[in-house]
Amino acid sequence: MPAEAYETMNKTFFTPAEAYEAIKKTFFTPAETYEAIKKTFFTPAEILLRPVLLFNAKILFFQFSAYFSRHKIRTFETKINKKMMIAQNLIHDYQMKWMRIQKVMQEKGADGCLISNGINLFYTTGHIYSGYFYLPAEGEPWYFVKRPNGLAGEHVVYLRKPEQLPDLFRENGLQMPQHLLLEADELTYSDYTRLQTIFQPQTTGNATALLRQIRRVKTPWEIEQTRLCARRHEAVYQEIPSCFRPGMTDLDFQFEIENRMRKHGSLGLFRAFGPNMDIYMGSILAGPNAETPSPFDFALGGGGMDASCPLGANGTPLEEGMAIMVDMAGNYTPYMTDMTRVFSVGKLSDEAYRAHEVSRRIHQETEAAARPGVACADLYQLALRIVEEEGLAPYFMGTKQQAKFVGHGVGLQINELPVLTPRSKEILEENMIFALEPKFVLPGIGAVGVENTYLVTAQGCEKLTHAPEEIINLL
C-alpha cells in the first residue's frame, strides 16, 4: 500500500485531490500501530510452554523488534508527511501559475492557451512530455499526452496526433477557443499553421511572450529551488582551485570543473531562450581568448572548440600572469543560478585588480539600489556611471565587441526577463530573480569581474550566491 501510494503520487500531475488522498490513506492510526506491535509478543499459552531463559531471551528480542518496528513506522510516516507537504506545495504552486496565466488571458480577451514547448510544459505541469497542455481562460487545465505512458491524473487524455483535439474537446465538454494563444516564438511554422488549421480560431495570440512575462516573477517554490541551486553552485566553486594543475589548457581546466559539477548534481543542460544560443555547462575565458567576439547573445565571447560552437574555452594554455574567468552554469535544480568568479595564474597587473574591484563596487551599489519599483534601465545607468568615473569604459563588457547589458533574469532558462539594458522599459517587482554581471576585458590579461544572482524582496535585494569574490591565485 505505501509503495502503491508513493507511485501514484509520483505519476500524477499533482492536480487531483486523489493524489493527496492516496498518500493520506497510508498513515497508521494509533490503534493500528498498537495492534501491529502487539502481535509481535507471546500469547499466555506460549509463555507457559517455554523455559524461563528462552522466554526472557525471546521477549527481549521481540521487544527490540517492536521498538524498531515502531521506529520504522514513525520514519515512514515522517517521509510520507514530507512527501505530502511537497505535493501540497506543488499543487498550490501550479494553481498559482494557472491563475496568473488566466488573469492575463482574460485581460487580453483570449479564451484558451495551448502549450507544447518543453520549458513551458514544465513550468505549468511539472513534467516535460510530448503533447499539449490546454488552459482555458476559466476552469481547470487539460493534459493531452502522446508519450510517455504512465502519466495519470484528472483531465489526462492520451492522443496520437493533434487532429484528434477537436473530437477530444467535444467528448470532454470543452469549448473550442475562438481567441487562441499559441507559442508563436517557439513553434515551427508547420506546427503553428497545423494547429491553426485544426482549431480555426478567429484570432491567434502569442503565448510565448505572455509566458515569458509571467515567468519573470517567481513563486515561493521556484525561489526555494533557486536557493537550493545556489548552495550547490557555491559548493562546486569552492572546489575549483583544487581542479588546477600547472601545464593545463583552459579546456583541461573546464573538464575538471565539469566533473565536479556533475558529482554535485548538475543536470548538464544549459537552457537558454532563443535560436543560436548553444552552450554546454558554461564558459571559461582565459587570457587573450576573452577578447574574441561571439555571435551569441552572451556577455562575453571566446573562440570555442570549433567553428560550429564559437563560444568559450579554445585550448589556451594557462600561463602565469593570466586571468581565468569561470562562468559555469548553476543548473542543479530546474531553476538556475548564474555566478562568475575569477582566478589567476600567479599575479595579475594592478589594472586588473582595480577593474575587478570596480565590478564589486557596482554589485554593492546595485544591491543597495535595487528594490520593487526601480527601473532596470536605471540600474544599467548606475553601472555605466561608475565605469565611466573609473575610466574603464573601453574595457566594459568586452573590447572588440561590447555587450549592451549588465544583467538578466534567471529561472528555468539562463536568459529570462527582466534584462538590464539602457533602453529597457521593465520595472523590478518583488520575487524577480536576476543576475548582475559587470565584467571587464583587459587585452593580454583576460576577463575580470564578478557575477551574482539576486532576489528582489519587498525590502530591497538579496544576494543568493555567496562564493568568495576576490581573485584567487591558483599558484
pLDDT recorded at residue 151: 87
Are 456 and 433 in contact, with CB atoms under 8 Å apart? Answer: yes
In this structure, the strands spanning 472-473 and 341-345 are: parallel
Answer positive or negative: Cα dihedral of 334, 453, 271, 263.
negative
Joined together, the cell numbers standing for residue 93 give 504552486
The DSSP annotation for 388-428 comes to HHTT-GGGBT-SSS--S-SEEE-SSSTTEEEEE-TT---B-
pLDDT recorded at residue 32: 44
Rounded Cα gap, residues 412 and 307, in angstroms: 28
Nearest to 74 by CA among 8, 126, 12, 30: 30
pLDDT recorded at residue 31: 46
pLDDT recorded at residue 74: 61
Rounded Cα gap, residues 457 and 225, in angstroms: 16
Which pTM does this prediction carry?
Answer: 0.83
DSSP state of 372: T
Cross-strand bridge partners of residue 282: 328
pLDDT recorded at residue 364: 98
Q: Give me the tens of pLDDT residue by residue for the chain, a chain 475 residues long.
A: 334 433 444 444 544 444 444 444 433 344 443 444 344 343 433 333 333 434 444 454 555 555 555 555 566 555 555 555 666 777 889 999 999 999 999 999 999 999 999 999 999 999 999 999 999 999 999 999 999 988 888 899 999 999 999 999 999 999 999 999 999 999 999 999 999 999 999 999 999 999 999 999 999 999 999 999 999 999 999 999 999 999 999 999 999 999 999 999 999 888 999 887 778 899 999 999 999 998 888 889 999 999 988 999 999 999 999 999 999 999 999 999 999 999 999 999 999 999 999 999 999 999 999 999 999 999 999 999 999 999 999 999 999 999 999 999 999 999 999 999 999 999 999 999 999 999 999 999 999 999 999 999 999 999 999 999 999 999 9
Please state, as a whole number, how many other Cβ atoms lie within 10 Å of the Cβ of residue 391.
10
Rounded Cα gap, residues 472 and 212, in angstroms: 37
Please state, as a whole number, how many other Cβ atoms lie within 10 Å of the Cβ of residue 55.
15
Joined together, the cell numbers standing for residue 215 give 515567468
Rounded Cα gap, residues 135 and 133, in angstroms: 7
Give phi and psi for 98, each to the nearest 5. -60, -40
In this structure, the strands spanning 461-463 and 433-436 are: unpaired
